Chain A
Amino acid sequence: MNTATIKTKINAAQPTSLEQVEKESVYSTRQLNLWYGNNHALKNIDLEIGENEVTAIIGPSGCGKSTYLKTLNRMVELVPSVKTSGEIHYRGRNIFDSSYGVEELRTRVGMVFQKPNPFPKSIYDNIAYGPRIHGIKNKKILDEIVEKSLRGAAIWDEVKDRLNENAYGISGGQQQRICIARTLAIEPDVILMDEPTSALDPISTLKIEELVQELKEQYSIIIVTHNMQQAARISDKTAFFLNGEVIEYDRTDTIFSNPADKRTEDYISGRFG
């Protein structure tokens, strides 16, 4: 928490220093189109997503935020009617290449969902799920991963004495942090979050926002949010989606203080959405 706060303060004080260092991009999306049957849900998306940054995706309901996020780890293909065109390069490799296995991609790119979705298993087994499916059986290693992940998600102290209890027995906010810890346990490079706080109370929301600030030290985070204050608070870059298009993509402070497009301005000032 502390290092993150300090870093944010430094950034705020010297906004230019960040711009000078051109960060490597984790994802680059080129001319992405996506259809659900005949519904053209994503249109000619071009986006570069930076390393160790928080990228927020904002926009009104149904504009394609979740669809774009789920395309980044190809979860969207679980919907049978989906068709895509264009390219998404993750660390230089097109994720739509037939040689790229979705399982491989998803161990590099973790996902946290809108509604906390722990498995009906113990807290320990929830966190150990990822490592186990990837072949780790050694109890000692699993123990270490579980502790490290729970600490990483800032929930170790709250659950360390009840690791064997069912994850359904804890609060929604805690469940969501368990889900974040579960994602950390696969040691991802990128974490996708789809409105991770929309089902939570304000205090849990704050905890998750703080957590996101800490996590960006090590991970690149792409977060969909309905809440513009949240985007302003926690993200470095913001993409504004409308009807399946990216209307504007820029540094968060620019988007919120000096948007280039009238529609962005209308949206962030609450005139529609």
Chain B
Amino acid sequence: MRYIEQEKVVRRMNGRMVVNRVFQGLFMFATALALLALVILLYRIVSQGAGHLSLDFLTNFASRFPDQAGIKAALVGSIWLMAVVAPTSILLGVGSAIYLEEYAKKGRITTFIQMNISNLAGVPSVVFGLLGLTIFVRALALGNSILAAGFTMSLLILPVIIVAAQEAIRSVPGELRDASYGMGATKWQTIVRIILPAAIPGILTGSILALSRAIGETAPLIVVGIPVIIQFLPEGVMDTFTALPMQIYDWSSRPQAEFQTVAAAGIIVLMVVLLFMNSVAVFIRNKFDKSY
């Protein structure tokens, strides 16, 4: 006796095909909707802001007059911010990931730490702002400097970087570790010569994506007390500064209609920066992609 009767299969085939089609359609619709929203957003911003984009816009400071308002201070400030956030968060993040993956004994404490790191990744950015205000701005008396804001942002993206780096380290095949230990390499030699080189593409992609989150964040900066209007460029990490999302937020909340155009131009600049960072991430991933 056969369990699958060809006749019945044929009879039920139509129904199966319909369900198949329906779901295909549904998923396509979902994708199309998301794309549509993105296109409308892009169109609105580009059509509004493109007119205001010029070299002057990049080289002018903020101004009361919309047609003279530029983004220089914010752009340079964001770069300064990244110069603090990138090394701080990547060093701490990769260090923690190496510790958790390679050194820490798997046990209750490690599991507890691990769980908290994952939870921290979901904490609203305002909360990190408050933490930064308490620790860096007040307790360590760094004021509303690049350093204070940079440390705050680093804390914000640290969990994301740790998790990404852990995944990258974990995906290095165990056989490579065995080969290295089997030749008498120490743990440190194995980490530096085998594990990190193999994990670096994953670590970098994760880090850059986390950094592009940091460059677009406004809430922690507001809480830390970063000013908006600044007519000078910072000269060191102890100076105060402003950043792209702060500047955009300020322009878009002004009553004059012309400032909406300026804000849109600012958004375009921010998006170009983000796009650039993301393509670097994609480039790294493709360039170093190794199949084990």
Contacts and interface: CB of A to CB of B under 8 A. Distances in A.
Q: Verify that A and B bind, or say they do not.
A: yes
Interface of A: 73, 75, 78, 80, 102-107, 110-111, 113, 115, 117-120, 129-130, 133-134, 168, 179, 182-183, 186
A83 B163 CA distance: 32
Contact of A133 (B105, B177, B185, B197): B185
Contacts of A117: 173, 175-176, 178-179
12 contacts: A73-B182, A75-B182, A103-B186, A106-B182, A107-B184, A110-B183, A111-B178, A120-B198, A130-B184, A168-B291, A183-B183, A186-B184
Q: Which of B181, B182, B194, B198 is most buried by chain A, counting CB atoms within 10 A of its CB? A: B182
Q: Which of A118, A129, A133 is most buried by chain B, counting CB atoms within 10 A of its CB? A: A133
B64 interface: no
Given A80-B106, A120-B290, A120-B292, A133 B178 contact: no
Interface in B173-206: 173, 175-186, 189, 193-194, 197-198
Nearest to B190: A133
A19 to B, nearest CB: 33
A133 B193 contact: yes
Interface in B124-177: 173, 175-177
A256 B179 CA distance: 33
Contact of A104 (B106, B184, B194, B290): B184
B178 A113 contact: yes
Given A75-B178, A117-B176, 15 more contacts: A78-B178, A80-B106, A106-B183, A106-B184, A111-B178, A111-B182, A115-B175, A119-B180, A119-B194, A120-B197, A129-B193, A133-B183, A133-B186, A182-B179, A186-B184
Nearest to B185: A133
B290 to A, nearest CB: 5
* A contact face: mostly helix, strand, loop, or mixed: helix
Contacts of A78: 177-178, 181
B27 to A, nearest CB: 37
Q: Which of A75, A129, A183 is most buried by chain B, counting CB atoms within 10 A of its CB? A: A129
Interface residues of B, number: 23
A133 B194 CA distance: 11
A134 B106 contact: no
Contacts of A120: 176, 197-198, 290, 292
Interface of B: 105-106, 173, 175-186, 189, 193-194, 197-198, 290-292
Contacts of A182: 179, 183
Nearest to A111: B182
Q: Which of B173, B176, B181 is most buried by chain A, counting CB atoms within 10 A of its CB? A: B181
Q: Which of A73, A119, A134, A179 is most buried by chain B, counting CB atoms within 10 A of its CB? A: A119
B115 to A, nearest CB: 20
Contacts of B180: 119, 129, 133
A251 B144 CA distance: 79
A179 B184 contact: no
Contacts of A134: 184
A106 B181 contact: yes
B110 to A, nearest CB: 11
A118 B292 CA distance: 10
Nearest to A73: B182
B99 to A, nearest CB: 16
A98 B93 CA distance: 34
B285 to A, nearest CB: 15
Given A80-B105, A80-B106, A179 B185 contact: no
A168 to B, nearest CB: 8
A139 B181 CA distance: 23
B198 A113 contact: no
Contact of A113 (B105, B179, B193): B179
Contacts of A104: 184
A134 B186 CA distance: 10
Contacts of B177: 78
A200 B189 CA distance: 30
